[in-house]
Structure 1
C-alpha cells in the first residue's frame, strides 16, 4: 500500500525522524515563555540548559537522545526489507508496531516508569531485528 508514492513503512521513517523533535518540544514545553533569568529556556545555550534540567524534563531529553540513537538501525532495516521485496503488508504492520512501541517508550520514560520503559524498548528492538528477517 502506498500514499503519495511511499509505502506505509517509508512513512513510518518520517514519523520516527520526528519523534526526537517531539521529545525536545516536550522537554522545553512551558519553559520557552519564561525569561531566562527565571530559569526559562535558554536558546543561546540550549544544551547547557537541558543538562541542568531534572525530573520529567531531563527524562524527555534522554528519550530524545535515545530516539536519535535508535533511528539509524530502524531506517537501515526498513530499507533492507524493501530491497528484499518482502511482503509489504507484513512490513508495514511491523513498522507500525515499532512506531507504537517507540511512542510507548517515550511515554514510559517521561512518566518515570523504568521497568515498563525497558520492556517496551526491548520489544521495539526485537521488532527492529524482525524487520531484517521478514
Structure 2
C-alpha cells in the first residue's frame, strides 16, 4: 500500500521549522558562527529586529502549529475519513504554512494573520473529516 500523501505532509511540516531557523541563522547580514552555536537560542533572541528575527519567530510558531496538524491527519486517517479530503487539507496546510513563513519573514502582518487562520482552518477541517468518518 502506498503511503498517504497527507503523511508526507506531516513529515514536511515536522521539518519546516528548521528551514525557517536556517534562514534566521544564515540568511541575513549577521550570520551565526561556531562561537554563537554554543548558545543558539540566545543568539537568535538577541538579533536586531528584521527578517532574521522574524524567521526565528516563524520557526517557533511552526513548532506550535505542528502537533494539532499531525494529530488531525492521524486521527482523520484512523477514523476512516475520506483520503481525498485528508490529502487536500494536509497539502493546503503545508502550502499555507510556507506562505505564512514568507509573510512573517517579509513583515506582512495582516496577510500573515489571514494565512495563519487558513492553515488553522485546515487543521480543524481534518478533525471534522475524522468526525464525519
Q: TM-score, normalised by structure 2?
A: 0.89
In 2: Cα distance, 1:22 partner to 1:35 partner? 19
Of the three residues 95, 98, 101, the one matched with 1:103 is 98
Runs of 4+ in 1 over 2 A off after TM superposition: none
Offset at residue 35 of structure 1 (A)? 7.6
Offset at residue 16 of structure 1 (A)? 0.1
In 2: Cα distance, 1:50 partner to 1:92 partner? 35
1:1-134 aligned within 5 A: 5-30=2-27, 31-32=31-32, 42-53=36-47, 54-134=49-129
In 1: Cα distance, 2:6 partner to 2:18 partner? 20
The superposition leaves residues 27-86 of structure 1 with CA deviations (integer Å, 9 ceiling, x where unpaired) of: 011414x685xxxxx101111100111211110000000000011100110111011111
Which segment is superposed worse, 110-119 or 43-52? 43-52
Unpaired runs of 5+ in structure 1? 37-41
Aligned length: 125
The superposition leaves residues 83-130 of structure 1 with CA deviations (integer Å, 9 ceiling, x where unpaired) of: 111111121111101100000000000000000000000011011100
Q: TM-score, normalised by structure 1?
A: 0.88
CA RMSD of aligned residues (A): 1.4
